[in-house]
């Protein structure tokens, strides 16, 4: 891929990442300044102690896991706009699948970036529309009839995505699928740590694929 494009993408990506980080951090600071209400440092540290290690771990894991899939531009854009696991990654992978290109290639880099950009724009427009009519649709969204649907949005997204890949490589999918199902059935509390377990599934899949390849099964 053109080295100038990669360098410029990396430079702009870093600028936007740090800009987003500063803006996010300034929100509580501005609120504290506006109302002259500052939390005690001990309370902040206690709160961070319970959640920060998890987010740091998941954040590092997601960068390592998703960057090879999304490419440089797609990764920066996805991490700045957020909602990576449930929207950006499925959008990029589906777009590359439909375009018949592979992650890590020049074509994959372009398709992934375009897909994530379009997903970000559509998401923003939907959010704006939702905020504008939130008062009217709140009773509908809180309806007990729709509650099961909202509880299963993420499984539905990845279920549809999984069907495509599992159907093409069903032999390679058996071992990690059985392993993860058994793991979650044995330890249901791990359902809240799905992000951390993604690389575990990747390692299991790679190990199983290597064994099956040596035995001539794939």
pLDDT for the residue numbered 50: 63
Q: How many helices (H) and strands (E) does the chain have?
A: 9, 0
Per-residue confidence (pLDDT) for residue 157, from 0 to 100 = 74
3-state helix, strand, coil in the chain (%, to 5): 85, 0, 15
Cα gap 25→37, rounded to integer Å: 16
What is the four-CA torsion angle of 189, 162, 77, 75, rounded to 10 degrees?
A: 80
Q: What is the DSSP string of 111-180?
A: HHHHHHHHHHHHHHHHHHHHHHTHHHHHHHHT-TTTHHHHHTHHHHHHHHHHHHHHHHSHHHHHHHHHHH
Which sequence spans correspond to the domains of the chain? 1-132
Tokens of 132: 């504008």
The pLDDT of residue 166: 80
Tokens of residue 88, six digits: 């950006």
Tell me how far CA of residue 55 lies from CA of 4, 15, 58, 85, 126, in angstroms: 33, 22, 5, 14, 27
Residues 6 or more apart in contact with residue 134 via CB below 8 angstroms: none
The pLDDT of residue 95: 93
The tens place of each residue's pLDDT in the chain, 218 residues long, gives 567 888 888 899 999 999 998 998 899 999 999 999 888 888 888 777 766 766 777 778 788 888 888 998 999 999 988 888 778 888 998 999 999 998 888 889 999 999 999 999 999 998 888 888 877 877 877 788 887 887 787 777 777 777 777 887 888 889 988 998 899 899 888 777 766 677 788 788 889 989 998 888 87
> Alpha-carbon distance 199 to 193, whole Å?
12
| pLDDT at position 196 | 67
Residues 93, 69 contacting (CB under 8 angstroms): yes
Quick check: 205 and 170 in contact, CB under 8 A?
no
- pTM here is 0.63
Give 71: exposed, middle or buried? Use CB within 10 Å, 0-12, 13-18, 19+: buried
């Amino acid at each position: 891929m053109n080295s100038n494009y990669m360098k410029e993408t990396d430079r702009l990506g870093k600028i936007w990442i740090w800009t987003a980080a500063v803006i996010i951090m300034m929100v509580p600071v501005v609120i504290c300044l506006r109302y002259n209400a500052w939390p005690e440092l001990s309370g902040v540290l206690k709160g961070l102690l319970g959640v920060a290690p998890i987010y740091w771990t998941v954040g590092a894991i997601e960068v390592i896991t998703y960057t090879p899939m999304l490419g440089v531009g797609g990764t920066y854009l996805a991490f700045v706009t957020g909602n990576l696991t449930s929207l950006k990654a499925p959008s990029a992978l589906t777009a590359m699948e439909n375009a018949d290109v592979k992650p890590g290639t020049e074509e994959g880099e372009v398709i992934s970036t375009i897909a994530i950009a379009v997903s970000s724009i559509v998401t923003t427009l939907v959010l704006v529309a939702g905020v504008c009519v939130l008062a009217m649709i709140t009773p509908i969204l809180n309806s007990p009839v729709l509650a099961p649907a909202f509880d299963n949005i993420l499984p539905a997204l990845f279920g549809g995505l999984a069907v495509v890949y599992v159907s093409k490589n069903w032999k390679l999918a058996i071992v990690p699928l059985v392993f993860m199902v058994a793991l979650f059935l044995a330890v249901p509390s791990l359902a809240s740590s799905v992000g951390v377990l993604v690389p575990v599934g990747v390692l299991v899949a790679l190990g199983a694929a290597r064994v099956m390849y040596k035995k001539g099964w794939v």
